[in-house]
Amino acid sequence: MPTSGLMQPFGVDVDLIEGIMTAPDRIAATKASDMRGYYQDAAALERLIESGDPLLYEVFEKRLPLEPGHVMFCISKLQPGRVGQECFMTKGHYHETAGAAELYLCLRGRGYLLMKTAEGQSALEPMYRGRLVYVPPYWAHRSINSGQEPLISLCAYPADAGHNYGEIETEGFPQRVLLRGGGEVIVSQAAG
């Protein structure tokens, strides 16, 4: 037992349609201007920023001790839309403790969880309501919304996992999801 005493159990309410947590301790909001360098069409991103710099995604969390044994959980809400032809997406990251896995349960929307390893493997798992995706240890991960409504996921991972954005910011993922003429196109690329 910790010397500081036992933590009290608690519950939270989640609005499964709006994809929001009632009374979160923290909301991390990412706007278009936070995404410079991530999308293929940089000029289209600048136009989106100039047109009002919209909110692209939010993460709702409760505060938990960032210690081994705790399970961090959050609601991730990614808006629908495109930058040029490319579907809205999260930045994506490895966990700082790279051996920390994660569960994604899709509650609403349609899209993908794009994953890759430092060894050059990649995987693209479809996301839709009721789909649970396991992100194994050592796999970087990014959500992509290819649908027309918010892509909402419940995520859970070891509370001491941490986030490492640096490598994805420079290397990107080997695939991009585009919408062309109403159809989804997955394009592969070496990097970026």
Residues that bind ligand PAN (rule: CB under 6 A) add up to a total of 14
Beta strands in the chain (DSSP E): 14-15, 20-21, 26-31, 55-61, 71-78, 82-83, 86-87, 94-95, 102-108, 110-116, 122-128, 132-135, 140-145, 151-158, 163-164, 175-180, 183-188
The only residue of 107, 116, 143, 151 in contact with ligand PAN, by rule CB under 6 A: 143
The only residue of 108, 110, 116, 141 in contact with ligand PAN, by rule CB under 6 A: 141
The two structure tokens encoding residue 103: 């569960």
Q: Does 158 bind ligand PAN (CB under 6 A)?
A: no
Binding site partner of 146, from Zn ion, ligand PAN, none, Cβ cut-off 5-8 A by kind: none
Minimum CB separation of residue 140 from Zn ion in Å reads 8
Binding site partner of 92, from Zn ion, ligand PAN, none, Cβ cut-off 5-8 A by kind: ligand PAN
Do the beta carbons of residue 89 and residue 178 sit within 8 Å?
A: no
DSSP state of 170: H
* Footprint on this chain of ligand PAN (rule: CB under 6 A): 30, 59, 74, 76, 90-93, 102, 141, 143, 155, 157, 163
Q: Which residues are at the interface with Zn ion (CB under 5 A)?
A: 102
